[in-house]
Structure 1
Amino acid sequence: MAPHDEAFKKLLQAFFAEFMSLFFPELHRLIDFAHTRFLMQELLVDVVGGEKRTVDLLVEVRLRGRNVFILIHLEPQSYAQADFGERMFLYFARLLERHRKAYKVILPVAIFTGSRARDEPDGYSMRFEDERIVEFRYRKLELARLDWRRFAKSDNPVAAALLSRMGYNEKDRRELRLSYLRMLARLHPKLDDAKLALVMSIADLYYGPEAEEDRSILRELHARDPKEAERVMELMPAWKRWGYEEGLEEGLEKGREKGIEAGRAESVRKLLAKGFTPGQIAELLDLPQDEVAKLRDSH
């Protein structure tokens, strides 16, 4: 399984209900999420060709208000594959052969996570002359064809994790990153540390954050809402690795007690102690260098 597909698998296992609510609300309404179970990997062998295929995400669900169980096959796909529709059909046929007595329905869902927007297949057909031999269909989700702005105000953790995999232009990159960081600040009180870390790791895998870009976004956040900037900074381990989080956060903490100017002065001193030059601090805090010097020497 490709690394992105493996990450997506972990996301689905942790947030299956949230995923269905966000992208397949009509199915979400039918499922009793108190009775869902991820099955073990299925190894499907082509007896004739000898090829082995692994199905990783099979979910047993009970329908709401009914004692009926169905099987949902979720197939993440991060790259283009000419015979993908045929592969989904073969998965379905072998799963049907193995599970048809236990489940009334096997529902296949393809999740295309690639970065390029294209019209992906949603089925497989076989014909002879004008006769339809096979007409197989599956549900599909194409992330790159979704408008990220539709999801930017959502409090769904799946939306936060996948926001940067949705369709956006390069000129939207900064705005998207800012929206994502605000989503994290809203989600922080609602998720435990492990789930929040999973959301952030998947989002960063898809987005690829850069130090200078995030430093600029931090300045913008701080200018708009210092408290929101604090909440976001607490969540960003990459910022700690890049070396500018601790001094600024501690300065902002002091700023709540002593006022904005005193807080800035504390930020300057902490950043100087971390080895930042006055020029770098001026850029980070969006202040003139002479103001940095005054704050450095104050108190």
Structure 2
Amino acid sequence: MTDQDTARPTDHDSPWKEALEYYFQEFTQLLFPAIHDEVDWSRGYTPMDKELQQITADAESGRRHADKLIKVQARDGAETWVLIHVEVQGEPEDPFAERMYTYQYRLRDRYGIDVVSLAVLADTRSSFRPMCYRYARWGCELSFTFPTAKLIDWEERWAELEASANVFALVVMAQIRAKRLRQGGTRRDAKVALIRLLYQRGYGREQILRLFHIIDWMIQLPKGLEREFLETVYAIEEENHMPYINTAERLGRQEGFQKGLQEGRQEGRQEGRQEGRQEGRQEAARDTAINLLKLGVLPDEQIAQVTGLPLDEVKALHPDPSH
């Protein structure tokens, strides 16, 4: 699958950073349980993106990994910064361990605070497992070790991930599928399975939308399969009575209305509807409106906004003729 086949650029940086920022506690609980137990989670945690940027400003541009710096409070009361490197795309890099050490000492030197460096390796080369950086010459020796989580190790524990109540298990499964599966149909089936699992877990609307966004970004599909995927998502929503994903709007966006979206969300919807009438997407919008009206959880005005249908048309679809 080439970059031209996908609806978005192959940049896995953003979904990982989003997942780590929202689910950092769950991330450590799943992948680094010993470290999770040392943190006082009642004090919360704080992303330190600005501080990380200051020490990585001269790093090689276009690197294929994500970095995240988080401030937490240890159970003993000490303030600790946690640096996470996530290898998310491309071949393993020999300088990886040295880069881990470089970021570690730069942070300690600049801010004078304890830094715990964690490495998450999402590549598929089982032999690539950097855990330390060593340097020695003429009696001068340095050794720096760091905990590492290799995501493909979870393939043997897939059933455990599927049964896990930890939301980050879905992120791990999505990343593994994204790296392992190359054929469009296979990727689509795997993506549908994860979305189905997402809806079956009983999460609230905000949680579902956030995780859907992360999974959707990680497992990208050829444009030709995107429509079929979204139609399946709509069917899953009907089964679970959770009409959260605006199928008609997403289809319009996936069909290439980027210019309209840049000029404004409303204009983008209008272009999507115009093209959608030619492709039959208007029917999908009406089906969404009908199901929302049956549920009776949203006013007509909000349904019109969600589906992109005119308010008069929504009222005409109302199951109660006297409405």
- TM > 0.5: yes
Q: How does 1:196-207 map to 2 (within 5 A)?
A: 196-207=208-219
SS at match of 1:59: strand
2:180 is aligned with 1:183: no
Where 2:81 maps in the other structure, the secondary structure is strand
Conserved 8 A contact 2:15-2:218: no
CA distance in 1, matches of 2:238, 2:204: 21
Q: Indicate if the aligned counterparts of 1:5 and 1:77 stay in contact, CA closer than 8 A.
A: no
For residue 13 of structure 1, the aligned residue among 21, 33, 46 is: 21
TM-score of the two chains, using structure 1 as the length reference: 0.64
Q: How does 1:1-299 map to 2 (within 5 A)?
A: 3-35=11-43, 36-39=45-48, 40-42=50-52, 43-44=54-55, 52-53=58-59, 57-64=68-75, 66-78=76-88, 79=90, 80-100=92-112, 103=113, 105-114=114-123, 116-118=124-126, 119-128=128-137, 133-147=141-155, 148-166=158-176, 168=180, 173=187, 176-187=190-201, 189-190=203-204, 192=206, 195-209=207-221, 210-211=225-226, 213-214=228-229, 227-228=239-240, 230-231=241-242, 234-238=243-247, 241-242=250-251, 243=281, 245-246=284-285
Separation in structure 2 between the aligned mates of residue 21 and residue 158 of structure 1, nearest angstrom: 9
For the 8 Å contact 2:122–2:151, the answer to whether it is kept is: yes
Between Structure 1 and Structure 2, how many residues are aligned? 236
Please give the alpha-carbon distance, in whole angstroms, between the structure 1 residues aligned to 2:198 and 2:100: 35
Q: Deviations over 1:101-159 (max 9, x none)?
A: xx3x3210122334x34423222112348x78122111122324422443123343322
For normalisation by structure 2, the TM-score amounts to 0.60
**Cα RMSD between the aligned structures?**
3.6
1:12 Cα offset (Å)? 0.9
Deviation at 1:28, TM superposition (A): 1.4
In 2, the alpha carbon distance for the partners of 1:72 and 1:247 equals 48
- Structure 2: give runs of 5+ residues left out of the alignment: 1-9, 61-65, 252-280, 296-323
Is this contact kept in 1: 2:71–2:79, CA < 8 A? yes
Structure 2 distance, partners of 1:132, 1:245, is: 69
For the 8 Å contact 1:9–1:76, the answer to whether it is kept is no
Q: Which one scores higher on RCO, CA 8 angstroms, separation ≥ 6?
A: 2
TM-fit CA distance, 1:24:
1.5
Partner Cα distance (2:136, 2:245) in 1: 54
Mapped partners of 1:154, 1:87: distance in 2? 33
Give the greater-gyration-radius structure (CA). 1
Whole-Å Cα distance in 2 between the matches of residues 76 and 248 of structure 1?
41
Q: Deviation of residue 19 (structure 1)?
A: 1.2
1:216–1:58: structure 2 CA closer, same or farther, 3 Å change rule? closer
CA gap of 1:252–1:67, structure 2 versus 1, over 3 A, is: closer
**Equivalent position SS for 1:52:** coil
Q: Check whether the contact 1:62–1:68 (CA below 8 A) recurs between aligned residues.
A: yes
5+ residue gaps, structure 1: 46-50, 257-299
Amino acid at match of 1:180: L
The aligned counterpart of 2:274 is: none
Alpha carbons 2:205, 2:244 under 8 Å: kept: no
Shift of 1:90: 1.0
Shift, 1:30, TM fit: 1.7
- Structure 1 vs Structure 2: percent identity of aligned residues? 17
**Letter aligned with residue 9 of structure 1:** K
The question of whether the paired residues in 2 share the 8 Å contact of 1:154 and 1:183 is answered with no
* Range that drifts further, 87-96 or 181-190: 181-190
